[in-house]
Amino acid sequence: MNKTTFKFFLVISLGLGMSGCGKSFEVSTYEVPTDIASDVNSGQGTGDISFTGELGSNLDPVLDPQFSMLSNGIKLGNISVKGKKLSLTRGTGSAFTSSLKNDYQNLKKATQTDVNHKVQWTLMDLSSHQVVAKSLSSNRKLFGASSSKIYVGSAFVEKQNAVLSSSQMQLMADMLVVSSNVAWTNLQTQIGDGNADKGRERIQNFTQKMGYMRTRGYQGSWGKIHGNELIPDEAVETLYDLYHNAFTGAAIVWKLMHTCRTGASRGLKYIPSNIYVGGKTGTYDGPTENPETGATYNVAIRNHLLVFYVGGRQYGLAILSNSGTDQSAALLAGGLIREYGGIQ
């Protein structure tokens, strides 16, 4: 990678929950080019097609003209979810007014001074592996909701050695693009060779092996151990590993994240419409187990994990929030991309 290029990830968690990532908001998107390697297999047909190998190390839609192409020549644009072919997601482009900038500054200050604030976040430079900024309690566990699906997807592609049938690729796309819960539980069971609990165990083994020591990336409970618990500081490490292809198949998850259709009223809201954004949201309203105490409590989760490339740098942002409003993630993403990415 060019030494002047930096990658950053922002993970936003706005609430706790185990359901899907909420309403499937359509966002302003850029259609995946259809003129690249048009003579290769389209990925459509009656038989299974294997997806093999890694997809590269400099994975960004701006820098990589082949970003929309999988390693075996299959184009993302030839994969359909809910009747619509995949396309690269961009920011929604809503105006970030002076009043909103003040709201951002107030929210940022509150999250960096109140140890019990309901919104926690971490921003990392993924090239230098340096945290740029974070909230005061960014090492606190919060309910992941559907943001945890990136861990199920990651454990699955590694187990498959990045060789996916067309039906398995469809499940991956359904889970990461529109946050299908059916695909989520199906893939977790496949990780366990037909046993959901074995799948949970193997997902836990994967996160431990990768160094996400306090993360529980599986859906449901594994015995008496509650799952779906994330930490902003460890979530950005996950995004770092996805970017750097730290495990077999990481690039498949990374590329599908760039076609996610949810989050238009969250992290995407104030990001300019000419900026590509990858990510995964998580939404849940209701009772769950407090990851810090084990007690049952009610939450209103509005999470968003985001990756975006601006000003020659790639950012990763992890926001976990129990705020009950999409605006928390929207303000943080819109403000941080301007403060640290130089966007006006």
- Give the pLDDT of residue 342: 87
pLDDT higher than 90, residue 17: no
Strand partners, 19: none
- Give the pLDDT of residue 313: 82
What tokens appear for 11 in the block? Answer: 């993970």
- Give the pLDDT of residue 73: 75
- Give the pLDDT of residue 292: 84
**Mean of the per-residue pLDDT values of the chain:** 85
Kindly report, residue by residue over 317-339, the tens digit of the pLDDT: 999 999 999 999 999 999 999 99
Q: How confident is the model at residue 72 (pLDDT cuts 50, 70, 90)?
A: low
**What do you get for the CA distance between the two ends of the chain, in Å?**
27
Strand partners, 284: 301
What tokens appear for 329 in the block? Answer: 């993630």
pLDDT higher than 90, residue 87: yes
- Give the pLDDT of residue 311: 81
How many other β-carbons are positioned within 10 Å of the β-carbon of residue 295? 7
Kindly report, residue by residue over 91-125, the tens digit of the pLDDT: 999 999 999 999 999 999 999 999 999 999 999 98
Q: How many H helices and E strands in the chain?
A: 8, 14
Kindly report, residue by residue over 255-273, the tens digit of the pLDDT: 999 999 999 999 999 999 9
Average of per-residue pLDDT across 126-141: 94
**Domain residue extents for the chain:** 8-341
DSSP assignment of 256-288 equals HHTT----TTTTTTTS-TTSBEEEEEEEEEEEE
Instruction: Output 207 or 313, whichever has higher pLDDT.
Output: 207
- Give the pLDDT of residue 99: 98
pLDDT higher than 90, residue 34: no
pTM summary value: 0.84
CA distances from 296 to 46, 218, 289, 291 (A): 47, 19, 5, 9
Which is the CATH superfamily of the domain at 8-341? DD-peptidase/beta-lactamase superfamily (3.40.710.10)
Q: How confident is the model at residue 44 (pLDDT cuts 50, 70, 90)?
A: very low
Least confident segment among 86-90, 167-171, 243-247, 326-330: 243-247
